[in-house]
């Protein structure tokens, strides 16, 4: 059995966040979504759960939700089929209220390419393509 990964992101506006992720290429799974969360599916093994702050807080006990516009809580990387897909996701994010930037790692683009995507709440994703893992 393949391991599935469910990344949970706190979001301030569930509807806006859901629309943002749909534009990036995620599909909403209505079976696991409700008024407090949206289950966003990339593929069979990678899902992002968008949780309203009040719901997300239930899983933290006494911790506070990080202000991801100013602080990093996590960096979630996921593989895509080519460098063009990385660029398309980044441009789509920027066109829909998010942003992106690159990190110079000293690796040629024909070997590996990634961009850092920021969603509407500052949560960070890193679509990445690596030669040989297409």
Is residue 38 situated within a structural domain?
yes
pLDDT in tens, 74-90: 899 999 999 999 999 99
Query: Confidence class of residue 64 from pLDDT cuts 50, 70 and 90?
Result: very high
| Angle (nearest 5°) at CA 74 between 69 and 77 | 110
Domain that holds residue 9: 5-60+73-130
Number of structural domains found in the chain: 1
pLDDT at 16: 98
CA-CA-CA-CA dihedral for 124, 78, 21, 122, to nearest 10: 0
Is residue 65 situated within a structural domain?
no
Is residue 68 situated within a structural domain?
no
pLDDT in tens, 9-42: 999 999 999 999 999 999 999 999 999 999 999 9
Is residue 43 situated within a structural domain?
yes
pLDDT in tens, 80-118: 999 999 999 999 999 999 999 999 989 999 999 999 999
CATH number of residue 50's parent domain: 3.10.180.10
């Amino acid at each position: 059995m393949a391991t599935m990964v469910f990344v949970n992101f706190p979001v301030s506006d569930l509807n806006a966040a859901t629309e943002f992720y749909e534009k990036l290429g995620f599909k909403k799974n209505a079976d696991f979504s409700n008024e407090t969360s949206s289950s966003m599916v990339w593929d069979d093994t990678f899902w992002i759960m968008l949780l309203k702050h009040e719901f997300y807080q239930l899983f933290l006990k006494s911790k506070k939700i990080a202000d991801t516009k100013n602080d990093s809580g996590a960096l979630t990387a996921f593989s895509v089929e080519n460098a063009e897909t990385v660029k398309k996701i980044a441009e789509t994010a920027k066109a829909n209220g998010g942003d992106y930037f690159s990190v110079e790692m000293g690796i040629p683009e024909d070997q590996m390419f990634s961009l850092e995507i920021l969603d509407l709440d500052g949560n960070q994703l890193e679509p990445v393509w690596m030669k040989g893992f297409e």
